[in-house]
Amino acid sequence: MALTKQQLKDIETHLVELAAKEVGPIIKEKAGTLFEAFDDKANQVDLVTAVDKKIEAIIKDSLAKQYPDFKFIGEETFQPGDTAIGKEPTFIIDPIDGTTNFIHGYPYSCTSLGLVENGIPVCGVVFNPHLDMMFHASAGNGAFLNGKPIKVTERDLTLQQSILALEAGSERSSGSSGDDNFDIKQATYKNLLSDQGAYIHGSRSCGSAAMNMCFVAAGKLDAYWEGGCWAWDVCAGWSILTEAGGMVVGGNPNEWKVPVDDRCYLAVRGGCTEPMQKKFVENFWSQVAGKLKYHW
Amino acid sequence: MVQSALDLLSIEKYLCELAQKHVGPIIKAKSGTQHTYDAKSGSRAVDIVTAIDKQVEKLIWDNVKQKYPEFKFIGEESYVAGQTKITDEPTFIIDPIDGTTNFVHDFPFSCTSLGLAINKEPVVGVIYNPHLDLLVSASRDNGMRVNGQDFDFMAKKHEMGPLHLAKSVVALQPGSAREGPNFTTKMKTYEKLLSCDGGFVHGFRNLGSSAMTLAYICLGYLDSYWDGGCYAWDVCAGWCILRETGGRIVGANPGEWEVPVDNRTYLAVRGCENKQEQNEYIEKFWDCVEGKLNYT
């Protein structure tokens, strides 16, 4: 039994309330104040993780009360290997996306609350309390920024005339962990920027996957390429992006359909025709300098 | 001497009003609407300029000429390479729209950057981003203001804790020159900064606007910014504000402790409680520079 449009809208409304009233104020208050505590490995109490866990518990409690039959996957309670995403409606949430930003007080940390059904993102809420930006959407109901419909200006999309979100991520070793992801990313960035390669208008980095997805959804960035993030980083943004006419494909060439936990993605804005999006994707893939690998 | 008689705070206030009331509304209204633009060096190039840049520069010029008829004026759009020289006279050094690529793509980080230099030293700085309604300003010995309110950077510095390369978030921008030795130096340096065998910084951010980046450092959101290829008008306003908060700007290349405002390569570092930390930060950063940036 699939969720109806109205049921999805009600869930969206509930998530917006939860983000605005309960989660946002904590993120705003604590951002940039825990710098000393975050990486003190000798200290048993990692204060950042504590805030993350506290927020995740608030979200989980609220959702369990309201939607007792739905499954729940959160960054803090995730167990590698045994938290598979099934067909049932499942909340996939990141209490604080952009943890480095949160630690440093850089105003791009947010909460990311998503819902999948049959493995497909169908509802998403991303709230950045620093900039007071609330992105929200549900399948068939459109995408919104602070209650106003997101309407991407109709215009051509080409790789050369694009600005892309590109992040370094936290994986920084060349081959030492048995993969080449860091090197492949660096080489791909170079291909994209070089005037011998794609020669794109520019790259931008905000340090938050959810914010990047939302900026692509709003048409403020043309695309976002990422490897290494998790389902909870992209689930909410994915739903918002598809409702705003965008698409998500794999970050590696020729992967037109990928599951929400693929860990490697290319998100492309709307505001243009599907053939134009597909051409953009193919051109982008031609610059990818190897195969990013996150599943073993 | 004319400069000793100058009331810098009143010039700051005047520029704030000009930025907020006259320049900002145009940038906000026209952002993302300019689908025809010139590239300064060929149709495929990425050094974009729009008709609005020129229009806004004229508006600023006309205004300041009336109010301060004896001051010199250097603006991005009226600058003539090889001819325009910065003298010791009081000189407005301005960028009508910093982050033009952002402006074209409606990425909400375009701003106006209005600086005044005397004896080639930045003494007034005003940066206004109308999308975020963020006005950051300062004048020599008068401290810094955010949207007109005094900003307590001492408290912020305390909250941010010590300044260390490996715990810092660094702003990096590839810029529009995409081949040749400077591009290679940038890409290699980014890799070294990120690599676990090099600087291993917490992360990098790329906003696509030098002025916004400097404003974000002044606000305590970012720790440093390293760039080559920008011009005096990209940094003049931010430089003044940064110095008022205890931050400093040195050259991007190792050993350049003192550089002029039109040096074209810069390393900007935030203020911190311990001055010695700032020097050590700069030296460690320079250790990661692979090659030499050269724009002569």
Q: What is the ipTM of this complex?
A: 0.89
Query: Nearest CA of chain A to the CA of B209: how many Å?
Result: 10
- The reply, when asked if residue B38 is annotated as ligand binding, is no
Please tell me the distance from the alpha carbon of residue B111 to that of residue B131, in angstroms, as a whole number: 8
**Residue in B102, B132, B169 nearest the CB of A104:** B169
Query: In which residue ranges of chain B is pLDDT below 70?
Result: 1-5, 40-45
Q: In order along chain A (296 residues), what is the average pLDDT of each group of 10 residues?
A: 93 98 96 66 57 94 97 88 86 94 92 98 98 97 98 95 89 64 92 93 95 98 95 97 98 97 96 98 97 86
Residues 6+ apart with CB under 8 A from B269: B163, B217, B223, B224, B247, B248, B249, B250, B278, B281, B282, B285
Query: Nearest CA of chain A to the CA of B145: how many Å?
Result: 18
Please compute Rg for chain A using Cα positions. Answer: 18
Number of H helices, E strands in chain B: 10, 14
Q: CB–CB of B177/B90 below 8 Å?
A: no
**Residue in B106, B132, B178 nearest the CB of A199:** B178
Please tell me the distance from the alpha carbon of residue B112 to that of residue B210, in angstroms, as a whole number: 11
Q: Where is A138: in which H helix or E strand? A: strand A133-138
Q: Do A206 and B205 touch (CB under 8 A)?
A: yes
Q: CB–CB of A64/A72 below 8 Å?
A: yes
Name all domains of chain B by residue range, CATH numbers in brackets.
2-150 (3.30.540.10), 157-287 (3.40.190.80)
- The reply, when asked if residue A233 is annotated as ligand binding, is yes
Q: Looking at residue B138, what is its pLDDT?
A: 98
Look up B244 and say whether it is catalytic: no
Category of B119 on φ-ψ map: left (φ > 0), alpha (ψ -120 to 50) or beta: left
β-bridge mates for residue A91, sequence order: A72, A115
Look up B76 and say whether it is catalytic: yes
Instruction: Give burial (CB, 10 Å; 0-12/13-18/19+) of B143.
Output: middle
Q: Do B203 and A168 touch (CB under 8 A)?
A: yes
Look up A96 and say whether it is catalytic: yes
B interface mutation test: which of A34, A106, A183, A191 has the most B CBs within 10 A? A106
Instruction: Please report residues of B whose CB lies closer than 8 A to that of A219.
Output: 32, 106
Q: Do A106 and B204 touch (CB under 8 A)?
A: no
Name all domains of chain A by residue range, CATH numbers in brackets.
5-149 (3.30.540.10), 163-285 (3.40.190.80)
- The reply, when asked if residue B76 is annotated as ligand binding, is yes
Category of A245 on φ-ψ map: left (φ > 0), alpha (ψ -120 to 50) or beta: left
Q: Looking at residue B125, what is its pLDDT?
A: 98
What residue type is assigned to position A123 of the chain? C
Q: Where is A226: in which H helix or E strand? A: strand A223-227
CB atoms within 10 A of CB B26: 17
Look up A233 and say whether it is catalytic: yes
By C-alpha distance, which of B285, B279, B280, B278 is closest to B192?
A: B285
Q: Looking at residue A61, what is its pLDDT?
A: 97
Look up A180 and say whether it is catalytic: no
Q: Do B205 and A160 touch (CB under 8 A)?
A: no
- The reply, when asked if residue B234 is annotated as ligand binding, is yes
Active-site option among A99, A111, A188, A242? A99
Q: Looking at residue A44, what is its pLDDT?
A: 36
Q: Is the pTM of this model over 0.80?
A: yes
Q: Do A195 and B197 touch (CB under 8 A)?
A: no
Please tell me the distance from the alpha carbon of residue A67 to that of residue A76, in angstroms, as a whole number: 20
Output phi, psi for B238, to 5 deg. Answer: -65, -35
Please tell me the distance from the alpha carbon of residue A144 to that of residue A137, in angstroms, as a whole number: 6
Q: Do B46 and A204 touch (CB under 8 A)?
A: no
Residues 6+ apart with CB under 8 A from B154: none
Q: How many CB pairs under 8 A join A and B?
A: 114
Angle, helix A209-217 to helix A231-243, in steps of 10 degrees: 10
| pLDDT tens by residue, B151-160 | 999 988 888 8
Look up B234 and say whether it is catalytic: yes
